[in-house]
Amino acid sequence: MILSLSIRDFVLIDRLDIEPGAGFTALTGETGAGKSIILDALSQALGQPADRSMIRAGQDQASVAVEFSPSVHHPLWRALTEAGIEASPDETVTFKRIIRKNGPARAFINDQPVSAALLSDLGELLVEIHGQHAASSLMRPSMHRHLLDLFARNESLLEACAKTYALMEEAVEKREALEAAHAEAIEQRDWLIEAVEDLMRLAPQEGEATVLSERRTLLMQSERVTEAVSEAEKVLDGTGIEEALAKAARATGRICHLPGFENSDDALPVAARAAAEAVERALIEIKEVMGSISQLESLVDHDTSELEASEARLFALRAAGRKHNCDPDMLPDMRDALQGRLDLVEAGEDALIAARKAEADARAKWHQAAGKLSDARKAAAGQLDKAIAKELGPLKLGRAVIKARVHPLPEGEGGASGIDRIEFEAETNPGAGFGPLRKIASGGELARVSLALKCALAEAGSAMTLIFDEADQGVGGAVAAAIGERLVSLGQDRQVFAITHSPQVAASAAAQWLVEKGAGGSRIRGLDDSSRQEEIARMLSGAEVTAEARAAAGRLLEDA
């Protein structure tokens, strides 16, 4: 439901902040006071095409923000996730629209920029507006199948239909792919035989090219390594550095053992010991250097024949890779794939027969699931027709007949949602013939038909906020009272707003707001019992409120 509505600089409205409650709320006021402006503002926040003429005179922009509190299981949360909008079922959701005099309008959900189209799509999950001439989801044929399925509680049948259709599509894709591969394999049979034989002779191994490339690189560098090692050994042997360091170690050692030098803390003995230790370390390290160079020499493997063999094998693998347009390391997979295509020539007919049978079985299962769904829709359509007829009589539309027509789709046009096209049709006068419901011209009839449909479909649809714009247009007395009763009934588990000029409808509401136009623009205020009786009396009598009107208003409120 709507928790709050904030409007800024919109037509006659300077600043408006309201927090509606649950149940049925009536919006009343004189013609031109701005009741429909509030509806227009809400429509902008729900993604209707931006209209710069709605910006209040003298201002650069208008803004409308609506805060909702959907239940944790409401489909909006999933839709938000799919749209990449950050939102949590533990929090509220705010839709906002800014219309600028200069520049494009902007749309936001929870302060995250979105397109107006997304705002509109998600808004339909939350609010249904039944205007005098405005389109509602009930008037759109694209929604009729959805509404009938909701009425019939066809969720499991829809799921089965969608699942079997997906499996059928998968079977069709497999069969088509197999047919295409089989035809191509037959056409390329001679080439496939030759290609497979060549790869069999080559016998490539997984990852072989990479290993050979690395080994070839090492073998190519082995000669240079040998030269460098020889040079290092020659330099070290020629210098006699090891012998020199040994002599230096003995000499510095003798200094350290002179009388008075071994444990003395004087500078000269300390320096002598440090020098002896440094020479000793150098001697140890030069021995390690000589050992490391000797080990390096033993590891050098310069085999010219192996290098030539590695190069020949690597070049052969690379040539085959270029021929088959693949990485040389993928040649084993290519060989298996080509062999599979060749096998398809021999065993392809059996595989095709199996694929066609699998497709036929999948198609039969989908047709069975779609048939059950269609039967359920046809049965539910009759029940829905009766439910709608029951609502039309009290609304003075007893001569009208509304039917949910279930039409079979042309062969080949069915899908995950079944094999039916559903559309609500209407006959406004006996014998006039049925036509699409959306073509009903009368605004008053359209609003009342919307109300009748919504009452009949009380459990259908996800929108928990319903708004009716003058559903009582052109009626009064008992019909207006019946409209009020139905709005009250809808308000038991939904949030319902009605813009009304009918005192009977206004008196039925749990709450009543008065929209007034003053020097500073339009304003809205909630009415207490006393002011509410006065407003309903004004609606009954006009400009001059009489005692009789007040008494009649009191009786309407008491009856409600």
pLDDT tens per residue, range 488-539: 988 888 899 988 888 999 999 999 999 888 777 778 888 998 889 999 998 8
Could you write out the DSSP letters of every residue in 480-540?
Answer: HHHHHHHHHHHTTTSEEEEE---HHHHHHSSEEEEEEEETTEEEEEE--HHHHHHHHHHHH
Determine how β-strand 521-526 pairs with β-strand 93-100.
unpaired
- Give the relative orientation of helices 443-456 and 331-392 as an angle to the nearest 10 degrees: 110
- Residue holding tokens 């009741």? 35
The pLDDT, as a whole number, for residue 462 is: 67
The pLDDT, as a whole number, for residue 167 is: 96
pTM surpassing 0.85? no
Which residues lie closer than 8 Å to 183 by C-beta, 6 or more apart?
none
* 3-state secondary structure (DSSP) of residue 476: coil
The pLDDT, as a whole number, for residue 297 is: 65
User: Using one digit for the tens of pLDDT, what is the confidence trace for 432-479?
Assistant: 888 887 776 455 666 677 778 777 876 666 678 888 887 776 677 778
The pLDDT, as a whole number, for residue 442 is: 59
The pLDDT, as a whole number, for residue 215 is: 78
Rounded Cα distance, 178 and 183, in Å: 8
Rounded Cα distance, 42 and 64, in Å: 7
Contact yes or no for 68/2 (Cβ under 8 A): yes
- Residue holding tokens 């997979």? 333
Q: 421's torsion region: left (phi>0), alpha (psi -120 to 50) or beta?
A: beta
Rounded Cα distance, 491 and 464, in Å: 9
β partners of residue 497: 25, 467
- Fill in the amino acid letter for 266: D
Rounded Cα distance, 466 and 451, in Å: 10
Rounded Cα distance, 453 and 138, in Å: 8
* Nearest in space to 131 (alpha carbons), one of 473, 517, 555, 519: 473
Secondary element (H or E) of residue 221 = helix 208-239
Rounded Cα distance, 82 and 361, in Å: 33
**Edge-to-edge order in the sheet of strand 13-18:** 13-18, 2-10, 61-68, 93-100, 106-109, 112-114
Contact yes or no for 109/95 (Cβ under 8 A): yes
Contact yes or no for 521/508 (Cβ under 8 A): no
**Cα(first)–Cα(last) distance of the chain, in Å?**
24
The pLDDT, as a whole number, for residue 134 is: 46
Residue 20 DSSP label: -
* Nearest in space to 156 (alpha carbons), one of 164, 349, 34: 164
- Rounded to 5°, the CA angle 152-157-158 comes to 90
Q: Mean pLDDT in runs of 10 for the chain (560 residues)?
A: 92 89 90 82 91 91 94 89 88 94 92 92 87 59 84 92 96 90 77 83 88 80 72 71 80 80 80 84 81 70 73 89 89 87 73 90 96 96 90 82 92 92 86 79 65 74 80 74 86 89 90 84 85 89 82 85
Which residues lie closer than 8 Å to 368 by C-beta, 6 or more apart?
164
The pLDDT, as a whole number, for residue 135 is: 44
- Fill in the amino acid letter for 258: L
The pLDDT, as a whole number, for residue 397 is: 82
